[in-house]
């Protein structure tokens, strides 16, 4: 066990997550003591300790990083960075006109980020900027619709979603409530341009074909598609997809879908609670092609139980055979609310798996276009989206860079409203997470949506 004591609450977050990055499997105990003898103290069971009276965040981060690096004989590619969106730092510098070499030096000195990661986020920022160039970021907006149901709940999952079996009696009422919330936005956005729609979850295709049709018709009847550039549905689980559902999505102009196996190893799928076969992944993919989808994303997770480099290679070979237009490669993130909380992470193995993913993506003609990080991520790595040119997920870029208003509907969904001022320009409005509570409180939620203003 490692004990962390700080004098001020505001310092706890960074200290905790930096220590956790070096010691992912250790139990950390934290407390705030205003009268502690030092500003920050980190105490190890064998008697070692880190003590600092430095209150300047940047200096404290670097001091603690150096101590932990010397103690563990490790370096972190992301240095002291703890944020979810490292590409935002690169984007800011790209917009200021900073050259790549200067950015690498800058972020290396300021945040101790490795040259490889600095190059990656700089190139991603440049690609994102080019992709967003045609958008009217101030007058445009995007819609997120959340479906918090899955055929079964995966053991690594920490999202606010439940199984179809558990919530079957509530799904129809949920769709009705969701449509009410969607319609409430009509007046709010009447002078705005809808650029992207993203239906996520959960697993949106957990709904029946009839429920999907009701939802898609509600969206189409409520908003103009004149400026719509992308319409994504995260179909996700192969065991939730049917030809009838795919035909509904195609009929309502959905342009991009995800079919997410996470792994192409049957033993892994069984362990993590995904009740489908490898064969069903292949069948669903080709069925989507048959229906006419020419922009399909697939998600993989590196670091799942029992998997190493060879399993990752086999999975990537199978994905290459399918030939999706984009591939999102995640590092396993273990969160306390997930069932899978005791998974031991071998950082070096995950690093090799991620490198293999980069190599296969390149062979498949897919280039990195967006990136984000999570707390407690395997080996302190990242999640990277790769895509063919003109097949990128525009919504993914917008949600990461936070340059356009995204209005979100559904249980647990969070709207992000970008204001027309330079500082403190982002307002977050979250919906209640509990599915039953969302249904019963929908009129109150709708009233709140009607009060939204971002002028």
Q: What is the mean pLDDT of the chain?
A: 92
pLDDT tens column, 169-227: 999 999 999 999 999 999 999 989 999 999 998 899 999 999 999 999 999 999 999 99
For 409-439, write each residue's pLDDT tens digit.
999 999 999 987 655 688 999 999 999 999 9
Give me the mean pLDDT over the 372-401 stretch. Answer: 90
Return the bridge partners of 328, or none.
299, 385
Res 337: pLDDT: 39
The sheet carrying 28-32 orders its strands as: 28-32, 2-6, 40-44, 49-52
Residue 332: what pLDDT?
86
Angle formed by the axes of helices 100-111 and 86-95, nearest 10°: 140
Distance CA 243, CA 266 (A): 23
The answer to whether the beta carbons of residues 21 and 380 sit under 8 Å apart is yes
C-alpha span between 41 and 2 (Å, rounded): 10
What pLDDT does 339 receive?
47
Note the pLDDT tens digit of each residue in 354-369: 999 999 999 999 999 9
Average pLDDT score over residue span 320-337: 84
| 129-162 pLDDT per residue, tens | 999 998 999 899 999 999 999 887 656 555 556 7
Q: How high is the pLDDT of residue 155?
A: 61
pLDDT-wise least confident of 71-75, 85-89, 142-146, 156-160: 156-160
Contacts of 191 (CB under 8 A, 6+ apart): 139
- The CA distance from 68 to 64, in Å, is 6
Bridge partners (DSSP) of residue 256 are: 232
Q: Could you give the CA distance from residue 171 to residue 182 in angstroms, rounded to a whole number? A: 16
Residue whose C-alpha is closest to residue 431's, from 133, 71, 148, 80: 148
CA distance 263 to 284: 15
Residues 6+ apart with CB under 8 A from 16: 4, 28, 30
How confident is residue 336, by pLDDT bands cut at 50, 70 and 90?
very low
For residue 18, pLDDT over 90 is answered with: yes
Structure pTM? 0.92
The residue among 194, 131, 165 whose CA lies nearest residue 394 is: 131
The string of DSSP letters for 13-63 reads HHHHHHHHHH-TTS-EEEEE-TT-SSSEEEEETTS-EEEE----HHHHHHH
User: Is 70 exceeded by the pLDDT of residue 167?
Assistant: yes
The reported pLDDT for the residue numbered 320 is: 98
CATH ID of 140-409, from 3.80.30.20, 3.30.70.960, 3.40.50.150, 3.20.20.190: 3.80.30.20
Residues 6+ apart with CB under 8 A from 96: none
240-279 pLDDT tens trace = 999 999 999 999 999 999 999 999 999 999 998 888 899 9
3-class secondary structure, 231:
strand
Q: What is the pLDDT of residues 272-305, one digit of tens each?
A: 888 889 999 999 999 999 999 999 999 999 999 9
């Amino acid at each position: 066990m490692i004990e962390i004591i700080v004098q001020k609450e505001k310092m706890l977050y960074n200290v905790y997550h930096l220590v956790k990055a070096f010691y992912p499997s250790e139990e950390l105990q934290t407390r705030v003591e205003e009268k502690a003898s030092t500003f920050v103290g980190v105490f190890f069971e064998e008697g070692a300790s880190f003590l600092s009276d430095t209150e300047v965040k940047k200096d404290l981060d670097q001091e603690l990083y150096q101590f932990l690096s010397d103690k563990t004989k490790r370096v972190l590619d992301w240095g002291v960075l703890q944020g979810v969106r490292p590409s935002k730092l690169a984007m800011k510098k790209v917009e200021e006109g900073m050259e790549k070499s200067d950015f690498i030096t800058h972020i290396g000195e300021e945040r101790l980020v490795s040259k490889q990661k600095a190059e990656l986020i700089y190139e991603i920022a440049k690609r994102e900027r080019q992709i967003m160039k045609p958008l009217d970021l101030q007058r445009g907006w995007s819609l997120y619709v959340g479906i918090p149901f899955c055929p079964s709940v995966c053991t690594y999952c920490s999202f606010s979603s439940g199984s179809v079996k558990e919530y079957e009696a509530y799904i129809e009422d949920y769709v009705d409530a969701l449509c009410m919330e969607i319609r409430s936005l009509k007046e709010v956005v009447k002078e705005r341009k809808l650029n992207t729609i993203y239906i996520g979850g959960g697993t949106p295709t957990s709904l029946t074909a009839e429920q999907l049709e009701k939802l898609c018709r509600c969206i189409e009847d409520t908003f103009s598609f004149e400026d719509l550039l992308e319409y994504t549905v995260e179909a996700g689980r192969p065991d939730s997809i049917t030809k009838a559902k795919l035909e509904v999505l195609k009929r309502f102009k959905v342009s991009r879908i995800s079919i997410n196996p996470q792994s192409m190893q049957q033993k892994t799928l069984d362990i993590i609670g995904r009740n489908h076969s490898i064969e069903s992944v292949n069948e669903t993919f080709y069925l989507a092609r048959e229906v006419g989808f020419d922009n399909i994303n697939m998600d993989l997770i590196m670091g799942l139980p029992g998997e190493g480099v060879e399993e990752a290679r086999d999975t990537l070979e199978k994905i290459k055979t399918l030939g999706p237009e984009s591939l999102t490669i995640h590092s396993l993130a273990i969160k306390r609310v997930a069932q899978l909380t005791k998974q031991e992470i071998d950082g070096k193995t995950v690093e090799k798996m991620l490198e293999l993913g980069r190599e296969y993506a390149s062979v498949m003609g897919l280039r990195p276009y967006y990136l984000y990080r999570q707390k407690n991520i395997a080996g302190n790595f990242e999640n990277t989206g790769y895509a063919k040119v003109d097949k990128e997920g525009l919504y993914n870029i917008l949600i990461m860079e936070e340059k356009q208003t995204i209005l979100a509907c559904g249980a647990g969904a969070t709207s992000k409203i970008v204001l027309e001022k330079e500082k403190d320009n982002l307002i977050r409005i979250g919906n209640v997470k509990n599915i039953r509570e969302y249904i019963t409180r929908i009129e109150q939620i709708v009233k709140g949506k009607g009060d939204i203003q971002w002028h």
